[in-house]
Amino acid sequence: MVSLEADEILLERYKPLFDQDLKVTTTISNPNGSIHCMENLTWFWTMDIPRDAQESDWMSEFHCVNWLHAKAVQDRWKEEVELIKSEVRWMVNCFDSKCRQWEKLGAQSRERGAVGHAVYATRQAAIYANLRDQCPMKIVDVNNSD
């Protein structure tokens, strides 16, 4: 187009193609891969979308599929966040349960006069109490690391 000395209107609509514009991306065809397909679309996929969609059923379908794909990715990430929050709650409960079990064993060992067992159980209870207390703080750190 440049060689043919096209006018400015055409040159603005049809920009020059570079090698990076023509690279094939597999993000659209790989549903489990890292998804950044919207930001990787080359300029010719986004030019005058309303008019192209009206004139071509294929382009309209392409944009619908692309939107649905992005929506599915967003839904998957929301689900993943909920799963991780549930796992953290489960871990906190598990650590709390283990902590109480070791505290009980420590008390029983002290009653029997088994000092070594009581010290070991107290140390184990402290470890699980520390893990229980650290989980929520780590999640807060992750949520605030935007």
Q: Model pTM?
A: 0.49
Nearest to 88 by CA among 133, 126, 136: 136
Confirm if 21 and 53 have CB atoms less than 8 A apart.
no
pLDDT recorded at residue 20: 75
- Helix ranges (H only) for 22-114 are 49-55, 57-112
Task: Output 112 or 53, whichever has higher pLDDT.
Answer: 112
| Element housing 141 (H / E) | helix 115-143
**Residues 105, 121 contacting (CB under 8 angstroms):** yes
How is the chain split into domains, by residue range?
75-139
Q: What is the pLDDT of residues 117-136, one digit of tens each?
A: 999 999 999 999 999 998 87
Per-residue pLDDT of 36-88, as tens digits, reads: 545 566 666 666 656 655 666 766 777 788 889 999 999 999 999 888 888 88
What local confidence, expressed as pLDDT, does residue 37 receive?
Answer: 47
